[in-house]
Structure 1
Amino acid sequence: MLHTLWSVKGGSGVTLVSAVTAAIFARRSGRAVLVDLCGDQPAALGIAEPSSPGVRDWLASTDGSAQALERLFIQVEPGLWLLPCGTAQEWPEDRQAQLARVLLDLGCDVVVDAGLITDLGRSLASAGRSLLVTRPCYLALRRATSARVQADGVVVVADTGRALSGADVAAVLGLSVVASIEVDPAIARAVDAGLLIRRTHKALERSLRGVA
């Protein structure tokens, strides 16, 4: 299944939620692919910055085969593969739908870190499960209502002291909250140290049951 996680405002937590979700899928089923559309995943996962081509380069290339795409995968841990971002900025428009088909045909859970939503993210989101990651922030909700991207649910990354609740987010967007994550300084430190998926975050994984 294809799971695309996206946001409308920077700092919403898409990188964190995507990485942990992909790791949960990999440990549960033995194989999962994490697609990085923004370039932030290597640092969060604690691996070297890839020098090899990535998904954007595949989109821009003349070889649109599944085999060519899979050659770009980087193993992060047993069962978990990263499809890095790459550097290309332009590609034929029809290649985005082709990418969605290839990812769907992989036969495992594929998690897309789409970051701030773009045309590429929209294309992948429309091909599978689309999840908006947001903080309970008035400005973020305002942007989300005008994003015109269909979502199947919302992941709320909750800050302490916010006036808005998960119920408020659901009411404003007209979507169900599939997961609510409390901001934890320990998780932030793990991300900064590149140890996000190498440490067990039981509370976080429990919070993501509605996602993974």
Structure 2
Amino acid sequence: MPDAAETAPAGRVPRTAKGRARAALLRRTAAALFVRNGYDATTMTAIAAEAGVSIGSLYQYFPLKEQLAAALESEAEAALLAAIDAARTPACAPPVLADRIFTALLAHAAAHPAHAALAARRDAPPEAARAAADRLRARIAEALARAWPPLPASRAMISAIVLAALAGAATPAASGAAAGLVESEIRRMIALYLADEG
């Protein structure tokens, strides 16, 4: 049975600069509220009020909160994949590239704090989360396979899984007192892990 987000009207696609600015404002406002209050506790009414627009205006662009969340997730994922692509140029040894990718993952988490809040939402289809994780790991593996010297495809995929997991472990510590120490230790682990590949 399809969920509500699949059967709801898609919402208006902004065609003017004013419309695109309004949709962007709504996404930014929702992201801030999802971080501050949590996804489940944030209502569409609260998003509209915080953005200074009518609830009807919000519904024109995003008829359901799930659709707004999906738009934010898509935007954040595109930015993350682009950051990984940017980290892989110029070509470099696997340990150096892995460190660049780790930096990109941490920077993305800091720039898109709503991404973590949305990942934990109860109404997210589990297959969508798995597919997003698979795309992330595949992009990291592709980057590592193009390092110089390149990693074999199977080693690149295992290394991608490890890198994504380490970045996920480091992110919660990023705001703690020992954040810098945790990050530097993880970087040291990554360098040692890939030392034989450089």
* TM-score normalised per structure 2: 0.24
Q: Which has the larger radius of gyration?
A: 2
Structure with the bigger RCO (C-alpha within 8 Å, sep 6+) is 1
Which is strand-richer, 1 or 2? 1
TM-score, normalised on structure 1? Answer: 0.23
Which protein has the bigger helix share?
2
